[in-house]
Structure 1
């Protein structure tokens, strides 16, 4: 099997970000997986979802944040939308470290040393 091994308990990282960054989130899933990290990503939805489905998906994603050791915000160009900002606030309230792929447009949204 070679020299690559998975630690006894790999880190779990929840990926957050705008639905417009599906390709970038897929890249993050691949990169984290290849580094031996378990990624938890938002569900990919083709087409529109109802308000009820959106509420269900948001609640499910908060459970993914609960399961994770930390959160990675995929935010090309620094963009953080309202839904992602809500997830960041939820993660921070739960004591989860939050890091960003890009410096947020609102620099106050970044943790010191975590961007």
Structure 2
């Protein structure tokens, strides 16, 4: 079973959750998702640093990363995560490359 970390702008959180479900249920991937702050809690600098460290560790544990780039949008934080994944020689897949379905992943 391959492990994948899914990233994208939080404005696409519903889409990321849907894709994570499909990656696990349809393809058998183990999906590590980014952390959602849906309740809008105030974040301290320490909390932000912990989240960043956790995101990078998830990349370390992954076989590849999957970027949810709706309308090809990639924010600054996701760009940093992509750069980190590439530094670690992790393949980076973009949702925009699978516009009709995810079947080419299997």
Q: State the TM-score bracket (shorter-chain normalisation).
A: 0.7 to 0.9
Alignment counterpart, residue 21 of structure 1, candidates 4, 9, 12: 12
Please give the TM-score of this superposition, normalised by the length of structure 2.
0.84
1:101 is aligned to 95
- Deviations along 1:44-65, whole A, 9 cap, x unmatched? 1121322221121011010000
1:111 is aligned to none
1:68 is aligned to 62
Which protein shows a greater Rg? 1
Partner of 1:66, secondary structure, is helix
Between Structure 1 and Structure 2, the one with more helix by share is 2
Structure with the bigger RCO (C-alpha within 8 Å, sep 6+) is: 2
2:85 is aligned to 91
Partner of 1:102, secondary structure, is helix
Q: Which runs of 5+ in 1 are unaligned?
A: 1-9, 104-115
Partner of 2:96, secondary structure, is coil
Show structure 1 runs of 4+ deviating over 3 A: none
The alignment covers a number of residue pairs equal to 94
> Aligned-residue CA RMSD in angstroms?
1.1
User: In structure 2, what is the Cα distance between the partners aligned to 1:11 and 1:28?
Assistant: 15
